[in-house]
Structure 1
Amino acid sequence: MKIPYLSFEYQHGLMKAQLKTACELVIESGWFIMGEYLKKFEREYAKLSNTSEAIGVANGLDALILALKALGIKEGDEVIVPSNTYIASWLAVSAVGAKPIPVEPNILTYNIDVEKIEAAITYKTKAIIPVHLYGLSCEMEAIMELSAKHNLYVVEDNAQAHLATFNGKITGSYGHLNATSFYPGKNLGALGDAGAVTGNDKDLMEKVRVLRNYGSEKKYYNKVKGINSRLDEIQAALLSVKLNYIENLTNSRKIIADKYNQELANIDGLILPTVNQGATHVYHIYLVRTKNRDGLMQHLIDNGVIPFIHYPLPPHLQGAYNDLGYTKGDFPLAEEIADTCLSIPLYPGLTNDETDHVIHSVRSFFK
């Protein structure tokens, strides 16, 4: 049995005819940028996110950059970021000239440790970027309380957590502005790069809207220095189709994750995902940890199961951030996670037999 880390076959099979029709309708319309399909998707995604507005942009990194720009984050400012995250969360801060200030994760949830944030705040701190990593919501109420206490902005990185909640409130609706990605592998994925900014502040959202379109409200008239980052009509139309399936597909993920949680529990040397009180997990990634990660990885591959590592090297040790002067040991929890983590296959359409084979393969390694 061969089980890939990720497959789109099942979910795209459910909606293939609708996806084709959506593309045809856009082609027939003759309008490909900033049209009615984008407006439709923005309304639909805002409703899903429980925010007053959503603005479609080219990708998730641009969404973060545009949010920070709209908030006035600039050179000389500091932005608190997780030490354990995909590098895009840091790159967005660097792109506006600010400095990323890493804070270690909670070793059980892998999300930024709320109790460690306050110690990292200085007079230069202007914002916090909590990342709902792997699909588990951060402790947003405590983060928002900290931001209010210190007069800081919050930009949620919601790229991996569509439909996750904290204390019943959906992620991507807490922050002053929030960013998400619709990269194809995300729980809500386009058929190419795509992203969005969500929020409830009309003035801030208008700034994002202008910034994404060359800094222009009216064609050829530019109020500010903007960028070209617009979600195109075809991707918007495809995402509108996928929105109709997101709840059922998310439930499929949870069912598979529940089976993993039950069948892989109590294995000595294997750490499973933890869901903290008040949070929900939508399992964009099912991540396990073990000291013999490389051995487990090879064993799974030998048994036809293809795992993945999210992420093998934390941002502070990447060559891109040599200028910050960090060395190995500066953020030991992020480094420990990077050295011990392994993501096993979990996607809608993974059959019971395939799930059982993954479980058997993991268990046989630890025997």
Structure 2
Amino acid sequence: MKIDFANLQHQYQLYKNEIDTAINAVLSKSNYIMGEECDLLERELEAFTEAKHAIVCSSGTDALLLAMMALDIQPGDEIITTPFTFIATAETVALMKATPVFVDSQEDTYNIDPNKIEAAMTPKTKAIMPVSLYGQPPDLDEIKAIADKHNLKVIIDGAQSFGATYQGKTDSALGDISCTSFFPAKPLGCYGDGGAVFTHDDALAAKMRMLRIHGQEQRYLHKYIGMGGRLDTLQAAVLRAKLPHYRKEIEMRQQVAQSYSSKLANTPEIVLPKIKPDRTSVWAQYTLRSPQRTLLQEKLQKAGIPTAIHYPKPLHLQECFEYLGNKAGDFPIAEKAANEVISLAMNAFLTENELDFIVECVRA
């Protein structure tokens, strides 16, 4: 049996008429950058998330940059984040000439541990950037309480969690600025690159709208040093075609995850993912932990079952961050997770037969 990790082709075939019609409508108008589809998508994203402002942009990475530019992060400022995430989280901090300051993970969710944040703070700390890892929001009440106490901003890296909820609200509607990615393999993905930033703050929203178009207030009148962060109209059209199906897909992804967890319960040498009771996950990944990861991955590969490791080397041990002076052992939970995590196929369209086959091979 051949298993498709993300099954994007199956999804396309399901929505083919809607997606093709949306793309052809853009082609017929030939308005390829920030066309009317982008404006319509922003209104629909605001309705979906209940964030006051949604600003679409060119990628999840650029969304993080826009957030920091809007908050006027300066060289030498420090931003607290996690070492167990995709590099874009800390890479964008470094691109701003600010300093990423890492805080270890929680062992059960792999999200940043809020109990360790204050110990990492200095007078240079300007913001906290938690990640909603694998699709589950972090402990936002605790993080926001620390930020309020020390007059810090909270930038939520929700690249993996669009549509996930924390205490009944989407994580796009929480934080000073929340960011997401529409990379094709994300739970809601376009057919190229794309992203968005969300905020309730009118001034920040206005600034980010200018920053994504080279700081432009009016055509050829530039209020800020900005960037080329515009979204392609074709990508907006694809997202608009897929968005009406997304709530149902989230439910389907949650059902797949529940099925995995039920069938894999009590499997020796396997730690199942944990979702805290006051939040939901969109299951960007279904990630196990096992001290026998290498053997497990090899056995699954031989059976034709795709896997992935998100992420095999924490950021504080990456060569590009050697200048920060961190070393092995500094963040032991993140390092343990990096050595043991393995992600199984996760998409809304996995069948029971496919799930049973994957589970049988894992348990074996």
- TMscore range, shorter length: over 0.9
Q: Following TM superposition, by how much is the alpha carbon of 1:162 offset from its aligned partner in structure 2, in angstroms?
A: 1.5
Alignment of 1:1-367 (within 5 A): 1-364=1-364
d(CA) in 2 for partners of 1:158 and 1:48?
A: 15
d(CA) in 1 for partners of 2:310 and 2:201?
A: 34
d(CA) in 2 for partners of 1:235 and 1:83?
A: 31
2:15 maps to a residue whose letter is: M
Q: Following TM superposition, by how much is the alpha carbon of 1:10 offset from its aligned partner in structure 2, in angstroms?
A: 2.3
d(CA) in 1 for partners of 2:254 and 2:30?
A: 40
* Residues 243-263 of structure 1 deviation map (CA, whole Å, 9 limit, x = unaligned): 111111111111111111111
The secondary structure found in structure 2 opposite 1:187 is: coil
d(CA) in 2 for partners of 1:302 and 1:34?
A: 45
User: TM-score scaled by structure 1?
Assistant: 0.97
* Residues 60-118 of structure 1 deviation map (CA, whole Å, 9 limit, x = unaligned): 00000110110011101000001211111001111111100000110101100111111
Q: Following TM superposition, by how much is the alpha carbon of 1:268 offset from its aligned partner in structure 2, in angstroms?
A: 1.9
The secondary structure found in structure 1 opposite 2:108 is: coil
1:177 maps to a residue whose letter is: I
d(CA) in 1 for partners of 2:233 and 2:206?
A: 20
d(CA) in 1 for partners of 2:7 and 2:94?
A: 33
d(CA) in 2 for partners of 1:143 and 1:359?
A: 36
The secondary structure found in structure 1 opposite 2:66 is: helix
Q: CA RMSD in A?
A: 1.0
Q: Following TM superposition, by how much is the alpha carbon of 1:34 offset from its aligned partner in structure 2, in angstroms?
A: 2.0
2:308 maps to a residue whose letter is: F
Q: Following TM superposition, by how much is the alpha carbon of 1:304 offset from its aligned partner in structure 2, in angstroms?
A: 1.4
Q: Following TM superposition, by how much is the alpha carbon of 1:6 offset from its aligned partner in structure 2, in angstroms?
A: 2.2
Deviating 4+ runs (over 6 angstroms)? none
The secondary structure found in structure 2 opposite 1:261 is: helix
User: TM-score scaled by structure 2?
Assistant: 0.98
The secondary structure found in structure 2 opposite 1:188 is: coil
2:232 maps to a residue whose letter is: D
CA 1:277–1:255 in structure 2 vs 1: closer, same or farther (change >3 Å)?
closer
d(CA) in 2 for partners of 1:12 and 1:232?
A: 19
d(CA) in 1 for partners of 2:205 and 2:324?
A: 32
Q: Following TM superposition, by how much is the alpha carbon of 1:32 offset from its aligned partner in structure 2, in angstroms?
A: 1.5
2:206 maps to a residue whose letter is: E
The secondary structure found in structure 2 opposite 1:245 is: helix
Q: Following TM superposition, by how much is the alpha carbon of 1:277 offset from its aligned partner in structure 2, in angstroms?
A: 3.0
d(CA) in 1 for partners of 2:133 and 2:58?
A: 21
Aligned residues: 364
Q: Following TM superposition, by how much is the alpha carbon of 1:234 offset from its aligned partner in structure 2, in angstroms?
A: 0.7
d(CA) in 1 for partners of 2:13 and 2:350?
A: 13
Q: Following TM superposition, by how much is the alpha carbon of 1:335 offset from its aligned partner in structure 2, in angstroms?
A: 1.0
d(CA) in 1 for partners of 2:228 and 2:163?
A: 28
d(CA) in 1 for partners of 2:162 and 2:333?
A: 26
Q: Following TM superposition, by how much is the alpha carbon of 1:47 offset from its aligned partner in structure 2, in angstroms?
A: 1.4
Residue pair 1:81, 1:129 contacting (<8 A) in 2 also: yes
The secondary structure found in structure 1 opposite 2:173 is: coil
Which sections of structure 2, spanning at least 5 residues, go unmatched?
A: none
Percent of aligned pairs sharing the same letter: 40
1:345 maps to a residue whose letter is: A
Q: Following TM superposition, by how much is the alpha carbon of 1:238 offset from its aligned partner in structure 2, in angstroms?
A: 0.8
d(CA) in 1 for partners of 2:83 and 2:104?
A: 5
Q: Following TM superposition, by how much is the alpha carbon of 1:294 offset from its aligned partner in structure 2, in angstroms?
A: 0.2
2:220 maps to a residue whose letter is: Y
* Residues 106-141 of structure 1 deviation map (CA, whole Å, 9 limit, x = unaligned): 010110011111111111100001100001111111
2:239 maps to a residue whose letter is: L
d(CA) in 1 for partners of 2:298 and 2:206?
A: 50
Q: Following TM superposition, by how much is the alpha carbon of 1:215 offset from its aligned partner in structure 2, in angstroms?
A: 0.9
The secondary structure found in structure 1 opposite 2:154 is: strand
The secondary structure found in structure 2 opposite 1:258 is: helix
Q: Following TM superposition, by how much is the alpha carbon of 1:323 offset from its aligned partner in structure 2, in angstroms?
A: 1.4
d(CA) in 1 for partners of 2:178 and 2:281?
A: 18
Residue pair 1:10, 1:348 contacting (<8 A) in 2 also: no
* Residues 335-354 of structure 1 deviation map (CA, whole Å, 9 limit, x = unaligned): 11111010001112111111
d(CA) in 2 for partners of 1:270 and 1:34?
A: 46
